Every structure is written in structure tokens, then in C-alpha cells.
Amino acid sequence: MQSRVILDNNKLQLTIDRLCYQIAETHKDFKDACIIGVQPRGVFFADRLVKRLNILFPDYKIPYGKLDITFYRDDFRRADKAFSPSVTDINFSLENKNVILIDDVLYTGRTIRSALDALMDFGRPNDVELVVLIDRRLQRHVPIQAKYIGKTIDSINSEKVKVYWSESHGEDKVELIANIDKP
């Protein structure tokens, strides 16, 4: 296996700052908006965005929730997959809110499709915007695209994007890992 760093710690922090300013420019005081992190990996990214937004804009009150999509996945009942549900923590209605949905990597779009289905259990949002750290734009299975993108990459199916967060991995970085099969 070969790996290449796509975002190192410094570039990752700059990307988070840029995304925070873009989101804040659109949503001003967050009066009608909320942030929802998709469990499990999107929550690390959402935590960072919310933490940074609270530092940059301390007067804003940003509603923040975490969404588990396990039972909404289209592959949930497959025998070859094992799923461990995470916690959903949304203590407010999404009715008529502008939902800012956060995930780390947009690949096939199936996770986001599941998240959209799960969101409807919490009210009917006015709008849903997607924020992703990495957009693997060439691999969609469903027509979903992000409004806010940290970095767009072109990759092939045998490559994997791995996001490392200091909270769980001891460092912040994003790698593209190529699976090189030996003959």
C-alpha cells in the first residue's frame, strides 16, 4: 500500500477556517440554521467546525446535533456487513430550518442519501446544504453534491481516503491510500 498526504495539519486547519467563513457568510447569525454531523466520522469534522465557528463568532448560538444513519442505510440488512449504531443527539426540531449537514468524505453519495432520509424524522427542513472535507467527485452512485467543499480529488475505486483526527488518531491529516496488488 502506498499513501500520499492530501491535507497535512496546517492545510486542514486552513480548510476548516475557510469553510467556517463560507458557512457564516451564508447563514449570518445562524438564527434559522443548524448544524448536523453525520455519525460516526462526520461528527469529528462537525465538532471541529462548530468549535471553530464558536471561536470566530462567539455571539452566534449555533444549534448542533449528531445524526446516526445506521438503520437508514441501503446495505443495512446485508449479511456481509456488521453495523454498530451510534447515538443520535438532536434536541431541537428541524422544521423550517436551514440544515447544514456535515460529513468527512463524499464518495458514492449513499451515506448522504441515508442521512437525508433520517433527517426527515426530526421535521421538514427548509433547506439542506452539504459540507464535506473531501469530495471524491468521480465516484457518485446517486446525484448528490456538496455546497461547501474542503478539497476535491479525483481518485479511482481501489484508492481510499482516510481522515485522521487528533482526538481518535493522535494527529490531523488526510491521506489517499492506493492499494497496489502484487502479481
CA-to-CA separations, 77 to 68, 74, 180, in angstroms, rounded: 16, 8, 31
Q: 46 with 102: CB under 8 angstroms?
A: yes
What is the pLDDT at residue 157?
A: 86
The pLDDT-based confidence of 25 (bands split at 50, 70, 90) is very high
Q: Could you report the per-residue pLDDT of 69-99, keeping only the tens digit for each?
A: 988 876 655 555 666 778 899 999 999 999 9
Q: What domains lie within the chain, and their CATH numbers?
A: 2-178 (3.40.50.2020)
Q: What pLDDT score was predicted for residue 28?
A: 87
Which grid coordinates are listed for 127? 433547506
pLDDT in tens, 1-17: 799 999 999 999 999 99
- The reported pLDDT for the residue numbered 183 is 44
Whole-structure pTM value: 0.91
What is the structure's pLDDT at 146?
Answer: 97
Which percentage of the chain shows pLDDT scores above 70? 92
Instruction: Give the up-direction half-sphere exposure of residue 27: CA atoms within 13 A in the CB hemisphere.
Output: 26
Please determine, for residue 125, whether its predicted confidence score (pLDDT) is greater than 70. yes
Of 38-47, 76-85, 110-119, 140-149, minimum mean pLDDT range: 76-85
Per-residue exposure over 112-127, b if at least 16 CB sit within 10 Å of its own CB, e if not: bbbbbebbeebeebee
